[in-house]
């Protein structure tokens, strides 16, 4: 049922949002050239790597300067990128990940391998389900970049405080998820973006 829900609504989402995809691609191209999309290796279900698709919001090869972004202070983020991140529009291409089948609309947010290697046995349970575009932690930590931007050592704060808290929310989702929970999280996410 979840797969049918994901494939149906990701396809409809791509279809309905295709004009917006074209518009965003145009502004990224005008502002900082190609590529329009940013692919990053993330860890998915059963600890298998896959390529996460996003609209590129940073300067080319910016990920070589570190994996975390720290809000508006991060000079690697482009001007259009700031806007896309604010309204989570950079996440929209992940609908293709959902359609392909390596992500779900709702599920634990996929992490890069570097941080997954730090998970304890309990935390590794989040790898037992497909990662998602949104979940509880996406709602609670919608301002994560700003939060890390205020830290003296953003990566240390992420590893010691933010990541464990997010993983606890992921584990909560795994224990209680069903279709109604997923629909509720989707509407809460939309509400959070526009609030």
Asked if the model's pLDDT at residue 19 lies above 70, the reply is: yes
CA–CA gap between residue 10 and residue 105 (Å, rounded): 8
The arithmetic mean of pLDDT across residues 108-135, rounded, is 97
What residue has token string 């790898």? Answer: 127
Asked if the model's pLDDT at residue 65 lies above 70, the reply is: no
The arithmetic mean of pLDDT across residues 50-73, rounded, is 78
Domain count, the chain: 1
Q: Check residue 134 and give left, alpha or beta (phi > 0: left; psi -120 to 50: alpha).
A: beta
The arithmetic mean of pLDDT across residues 59-85, rounded, is 77
% residues pLDDT > 70 (the chain): 94
> 91 or 151, which is more confident?
91
pLDDT at 149: 77
> 190 or 64, which is more confident?
190
Q: What pTM did the predictor assign?
A: 0.91
Structural domain containing residue 9 = 2-194
The arithmetic mean of pLDDT across residues 51-76, rounded, is 77
% residues pLDDT > 90 (the chain): 78
Three-state SS for 153? coil
Please give the distance of CA 158 from its chain centroid, rounded to a whole number.
15
pLDDT at 148: 83
Average pLDDT value for the chain? 92
SS (H, E, C) 161-177: HHHHHHHHHHHHHHHHC
pLDDT at 22: 98
Spell out where the chain has E strands: 37-43, 49-55, 104-106, 132-134
Grade residue 57 by pLDDT with cuts at 50, 70 and 90.
Answer: very high
Asked if the model's pLDDT at residue 71 lies above 80, the reply is: no
CA–CA gap between residue 156 and residue 34 (Å, rounded): 33
CA–CA gap between residue 57 and residue 148 (Å, rounded): 18
CA–CA gap between residue 157 and residue 165 (Å, rounded): 11
């Amino acid at each position: 049922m979840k797969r049918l829900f994901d494939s149906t609504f990701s396809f409809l989402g791509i279809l309905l949002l295709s004009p917006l995809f074209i518009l965003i691609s145009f502004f990224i191209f005008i502002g900082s050239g190609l590529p329009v999309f940013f692919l990053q290796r993330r860890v998915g279900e059963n600890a298998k790597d896959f390529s996460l698709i996003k609209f590129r919001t940073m300067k080319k090869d910016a990920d070589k300067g570190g994996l975390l972004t720290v809000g508006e202070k991060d000079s690697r983020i482009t001007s259009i990128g700031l806007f896309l991140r604010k309204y989570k529009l950079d996440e929209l291409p992940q609908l293709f990940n959902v359609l392909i089948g390596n992500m779900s609309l709702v599920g634990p947010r996929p992490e890069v391998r570097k941080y997954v290697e730090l998970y304890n046995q309990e935390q590794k349970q989040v790898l037992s389900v497909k990662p998602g575009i949104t979940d509880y932690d996406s709602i609670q930590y919608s301002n994560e970049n700003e939060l890390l931007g205020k830290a003296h050592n953003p990566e240390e704060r992420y590893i010691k405080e933010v990541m464990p808290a997010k993983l606890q929310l992921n584990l909560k989702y795994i224990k209680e998820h069903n279709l109604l929970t997923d629909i509720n999280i989707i509407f809460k996410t939309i509400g959070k973006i526009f609030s």
